[in-house]
Amino acid sequence: MSDVKLAVLGGKGTGKSALTVRFLTKRFIGEYASNFESIYNKQLCLEGKPLSLEIYDPCSQPQKAKCSLPSELHWADGFVIVYDISDRPSFALAKALIYRIREPPTSHCKRMVEPAVVLVGNKQDLCHIREVGWDEGQKLAIDFRCQFCELSAAEQSLEVEGMFLRLIKDILTVFKHKEKRRPSGSKSMAKLINNVFGKRRKSV
């Protein structure tokens, strides 16, 4: 069974939890606790094959801390980078996160393959108060080899599902073509994840 790990990152209040919960449950709740981080687990069947999915949804942190991603870069196979189209500072933060993910690997984090990334302009239902143009998002995504979409976690369940599934398919394609290197042994990996993210896990 394939094991896929996603991290959903972005500025405070951009809709990271709303997107994750929408994908996992098809529901939009409106308000989400933001003072703790979660790892959600879900078993999926994609193109006839079983898949174990983990999604990391961090709690809000100061902007500086958010741009420092060594643990996430080790852990995740792919990233959903979220900004709010009605909030320009959140786009600047998304850009900083993408720079960080795409910067050349250091001796700290030696990856054999680039992680898959989708840049998401959320809250498209607020386009009447838009501060970030669609073309700006698309250009950033093209420049840094990311997928891109604008959508609304509040109103577009199918689009949210499609966005996550496209990212997962990209990751599976990479798995197929390149042997993935992880720190040795599944036990030490579990230990690393628990050390990095704590033990709070949810199954949906």
Ligand X SMILES: Nc1nc2c(ncn2[C@@H]2O[C@H](COP(=O)(O)OP(=O)(O)OP(=O)(O)O)[C@@H](O)[C@H]2O)c(=O)[nH]1
How far apart are the C-alpha atoms of 136 and 127, rounded to whole Å?
14
Report the nearest approach of ligand X to the CB of residue 83 (Å). 10
Report the nearest approach of ligand X to the CB of residue 151 (Å). 7
Closest CA to 97 of 196, 10, 6: 10
How far apart are the C-alpha atoms of 129 and 147, rounded to whole Å?
24
Can you tell me which of 56, 94, 120, 152 binds ligand X, judged by CB under 6 A? Answer: 152
Residue 160 neighbours by CB under 8 Å, 6+ apart: 19, 22, 23, 151, 153
Sites for ligand X among residues 43-62 (CB under 6 A):
59-60
Cβ proximity to ligand X, 15 vs 172, nearer residue: 15
Can you tell me which of 44, 67, 154, 189 binds ligand X, judged by CB under 6 A? Answer: 154
Structure tokens at 180: 């993935």
Cβ proximity to ligand X, 17 vs 54, nearer residue: 17
Residue 18 neighbours by CB under 8 Å, 6+ apart: 28, 29, 32, 122, 153, 154
Sites for ligand X among residues 62-121 (CB under 6 A):
none
CB burial of residue 40 (10 Å; 0-12, 13-18, 19+): buried
Cβ proximity to ligand X, 60 vs 71, nearer residue: 60
Can you tell me which of 31, 47, 135, 179 binds ligand X, judged by CB under 6 A? Answer: 31
Strand order, beta sheet including 49-57: 147-150, 116-122, 78-84, 2-10, 49-57, 38-46, 201-203
Report the nearest approach of ligand X to the CB of residue 37 (Å). 9
CB burial of residue 34 (10 Å; 0-12, 13-18, 19+): middle
Report the nearest approach of ligand X to the CB of residue 155 (Å). 7
Rule CB under 6 A: say whether 34 interacts with ligand X: yes
Rule CB under 6 A: say whether 38 interacts with ligand X: no
Phi and psi, residue 49, nearest 5°: -115, 140
Sites for ligand X among residues 10-29 (CB under 6 A):
12-18
Q: Which stretch binds ligand X (CB under 6 A): 7-15, 42-50, 127-135, 190-198?
A: 7-15
Rule CB under 6 A: say whether 123 interacts with ligand X: yes
Binding site for ligand X (CB under 6 A): 12-18, 30-32, 34, 59-60, 122-123, 125-126, 152-154
